[in-house]
């Protein structure tokens, strides 16, 4: 259920002085007030909407081709546990503070200028995946209905962009419709495909391809969604309670890994290939198109939404200019749509995967600072009840950038284990050790700007940033 206070209407300045613009600004540079949070069931549907996609069935089938059902279950369990721990620790930080990841990092680990770099990496990664998902949608729809893929890229990109312009409230409405309908249609298709086969025999079937080690399988599962885990505050800042974050994210993991993923394993055993989307879309026609549309929309809106939040923080820090999130969404949506329509995004997946290794250390540093070291978060603690931002933020935290670079190298070049987890744990461990030794120190202090670009008034007594 929706809270009594609503997100500011399109193009209207709210009482806090948010700049006018197209669509909803969605508290892009401020805390989400407690009376603007959403209820349990609305947020649950948002989480579940991230659980199922055609690519998740393909991932399950890929694991199934190289693993027994039992080993695949262990791989999904390992991946789900890792992801849930990360999502909960980072997500609760976002819920408590009402802040998205790019803004949260100003006071948690990176400082003002470091948060700009974090915002840039996240924004480029998410808008890139927006383009990739848009391309997948276009190719699938063209195969079902005909027509040039570029046309479907434009149609899908424009539709998602318009939705995201108006923000979280309308994305939540889409989730209420899309999530139950998507899973109902997919369940119908898969049940029809499996009715003529023995599920018990499929469970016992040996892998048909080259054996996939457990660590490799868990890498694909945990690494594939790690970026989504790091940007969980984009969603959890609208949550009301910590236990909501846990139950909702855990429900999402169960549905995504144990139901969608393991069904994908069974489909992989059935067709002895990871090309199983034709089974999910076996009903073809209008229903098949609806499945593709819903699968893309409820995932891709969050890619564009998260990217817009990152760009807003980046421009405010680097250029001192406060952009309206709705306007930013238009620019990002047009760019991602054009790039996907001309086929450029197909050549950027390797680069996006590289960024995927760079993002997990951000989560490690956030968790270490917020829950363990706690040298920079006191200003957030003191302003939380007033639902305002601290009047200042540290300008630089150089050691955090060194830790980030070192953890990235571990994730990139160490071949043992799970790269995304290796880089995350390296960043967490280094930050905890160096933080407790007093080696992580903020340098400089920058005044926080309000939405109109003016300095936030400083009260008579403030706690210096970085105080123990």
Tokens of 65: 């081709």
Task: Quickly list H helices, 195-284.
Answer: 199-204, 214-224, 226-230, 233-236, 242-253, 262-271, 277-280
Instruction: Kindly indicate the confidence band of residue 285, based on its pLDDT and cuts at 50, 70 and 90.
Output: low
Residue with tokens 């999530």: 179
Helix (H, G, I), strand (E, B), or coil: what is residue 455? strand
pLDDT, tens digit, 9 for 90 and up, residues 142-165 = 877 888 999 999 999 999 999 999
CB atoms within 10 A of CB 150: 17
The pLDDT of residue 466 is 37
Residues 91/300, Cβ–Cβ less than 8 Å: no
Q: How far apart, in whole angstroms, are the C-alpha atoms of residue 8 and residue 78? A: 41
Q: Which helix (H) or strand (E) holds 395?
A: strand 392-396
The residues near 107 (Cβ < 8 Å, ≥ 6 apart) are 376, 377, 379, 380, 390, 393, 394, 465
The residues near 157 (Cβ < 8 Å, ≥ 6 apart) are 134, 333, 334, 336, 337, 340, 341
Helix (H, G, I), strand (E, B), or coil: what is residue 439? coil
Residue 392 phi, psi dihedral angles, 5° rounding: -140, 165
Task: Quickly list H helices, 69-148.
Answer: 69-97, 101-104, 111-145
Residues 336/130, Cβ–Cβ less than 8 Å: yes
Helix (H, G, I), strand (E, B), or coil: what is residue 465? coil
Residues 177/184, Cβ–Cβ less than 8 Å: no
Residue with tokens 């819903």: 294
Greater confidence (125 vs 450) lies with 125
The pLDDT of residue 8 is 39
Q: How far apart, in whole angstroms, are the C-alpha atoms of residue 399 and residue 442? A: 9
Greater confidence (428 vs 51) lies with 428
Nearest residue to 6 via CA among 163, 167, 178, 243: 167
Instruction: Kindly indicate the confidence band of residue 284, based on its pLDDT and cuts at 50, 70 and 90.
Output: low
Nearest residue to 245 via CA among 38, 32, 36, 31: 38
Examine the pLDDT at 416 and tell me if it is beyond 60: yes
Task: Decide: residue 286, CB within 10 A, 0-12 exposed, 13-18 middle, 19+ buried.
Answer: exposed
Q: How far apart, in whole angstroms, are the C-alpha atoms of residue 99 and residue 110? A: 15
Tokens of 384: 């939380």
Residue 446 phi, psi dihedral angles, 5° rounding: -120, 135
Q: How far apart, in whole angstroms, are the C-alpha atoms of residue 174 and residue 430? A: 41
Mean pLDDT of all residues in 180-192:
82
Residue with tokens 């991230």: 50
Percent of the chain with pLDDT over 70: 89
> Taking the CA of residue 4 as centre, how many other CA atoms within 13 Å lie in the half-sphere pointing to its CB?
1
pLDDT, tens digit, 9 for 90 and up, residues 95-144 = 999 999 999 999 999 999 999 999 999 999 899 889 888 888 888 788 77
> Taking the CA of residue 144 as centre, how many other CA atoms within 13 Å lie in the half-sphere pointing to its CB?
23
Examine the pLDDT at 23 and tell me if it is beyond 70: yes
C-alpha distance from residue 46 to each of 225, 232, 256 (Å): 16, 12, 13
If you count them, how many residues does the chain have? Answer: 468
C-alpha 245: how far from chain center: 14
C-alpha distance from residue 437 to each of 311, 328, 373, 376 (Å): 34, 41, 10, 15
Examine the pLDDT at 325 and tell me if it is beyond 60: yes
Instruction: Kindly indicate the confidence band of residue 14, based on its pLDDT and cuts at 50, 70 and 90.
Output: very low
Q: Angle at Cα 462 formed by Cα 460 and Cα 467, nearest 5°?
A: 160
Listed range (8-17, 208-217, 331-340) with the worst mean pLDDT? 8-17
Dihedral in degrees, nearest 10, Cα atoms 407, 413, 417, 419: 50
Helix (H, G, I), strand (E, B), or coil: what is residue 392? strand
Q: Which helix (H) or strand (E) holds 446?
A: strand 443-447
C-alpha distance from residue 364 to each of 126, 313, 375, 432 (Å): 19, 20, 15, 10
The pLDDT of residue 7 is 39
The residues near 111 (Cβ < 8 Å, ≥ 6 apart) are 376, 393, 394, 395, 396, 397, 400, 442, 443, 444
CB atoms within 10 A of CB 288: 22
Give the pTM.
Answer: 0.86
């Amino acid at each position: 259920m929706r809270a009594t206070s609503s997100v500011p209407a399109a193009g209207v300045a709210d009482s806090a002085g948010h700049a006018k613009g197209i669509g909803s600004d969605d508290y892009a540079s401020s805390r989400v007030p407690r009376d603007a949070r959403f209820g349990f069931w609305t947020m649950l549907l948002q989480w579940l909407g991230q659980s199922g996609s055609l690519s998740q069935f393909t991932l399950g089938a890929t694991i199934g081709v190289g693993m027994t059902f039992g080993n695949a279950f262990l791989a999904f369990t390992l991946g789900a546990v890792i992801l849930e721990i990360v999502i909960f620790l980072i997500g609760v930080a976002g819920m408590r503070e009402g802040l998205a990841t790019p803004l949260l990092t100003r006071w948690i680990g990176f400082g003002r200028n470091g948060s700009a770099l974090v915002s840039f990496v996240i924004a480029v990664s998410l808008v890139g995946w927006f383009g990739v998902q848009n391309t997948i949608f276009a190719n699938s729809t063209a195969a079902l209905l005909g027509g040039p893929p570029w046309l479907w890229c434009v149609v899908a990109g424009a539709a998602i962009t318009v939705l995201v312009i108006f923000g979280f409230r309308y994305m939540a409405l889409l989730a209420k419709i899309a999530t139950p309908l998507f899973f109902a249609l997919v369940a119908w298709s898969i049940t029809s495909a499996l009715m003529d086969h023995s599920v018990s025999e499929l469970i016992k079937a040996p892998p048909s391809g080259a054996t996939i080690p457990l660590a490799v399988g868990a890498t694909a599962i945990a690494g594939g969604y790690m970026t989504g885990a790091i940007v969980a505050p984009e969603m959890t800042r609208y949550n009301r309670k910590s236990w909501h974050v846990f139950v909702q994210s855990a429900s999402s993991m169960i549905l995504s890994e144990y139901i969608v993923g393991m069904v994908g394993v069974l489909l992989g055993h059935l067709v002895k290939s990871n090309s199983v989307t034709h089974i999910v879309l076996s009903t073809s026609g209008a229903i098949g198109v609806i499945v593709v549309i819903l699968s893309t929309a409820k995932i891709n809106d969050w890619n564009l939404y998260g990217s817009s939040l990152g760009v807003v923080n980046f421009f405010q820090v680097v250029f001192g200019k406060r952009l309206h999130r709705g306007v930013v969404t238009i620019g990002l949506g047009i760019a991602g749509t054009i790039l996907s329509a001309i086929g450029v995004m197909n050549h950027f997946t390797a680069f996006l995967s590289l960024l995927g290794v760079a993002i997990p250390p951000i989560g490690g540093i956030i968790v270490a600072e917020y829950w363990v070291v706690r040298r920079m978060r006191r200003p957030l603690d003191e302003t939380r009840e007033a639902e305002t931002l601290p009047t200042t933020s540290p300008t630089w935290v150089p050691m955090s950038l060194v830790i980030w670079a070192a953890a990235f190298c571990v994730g990139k070049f160490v071949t043992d284990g799970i790269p995304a987890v290796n880089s995350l744990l390296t960043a967490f461990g280094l930050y905890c050790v160096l933080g407790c030794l007093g080696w992580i120190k903020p340098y400089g202090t920058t005044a926080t700007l309000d939405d109109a670009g003016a300095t936030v008034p400083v009260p008579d007594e403030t706690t210096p940033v970085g105080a123990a």
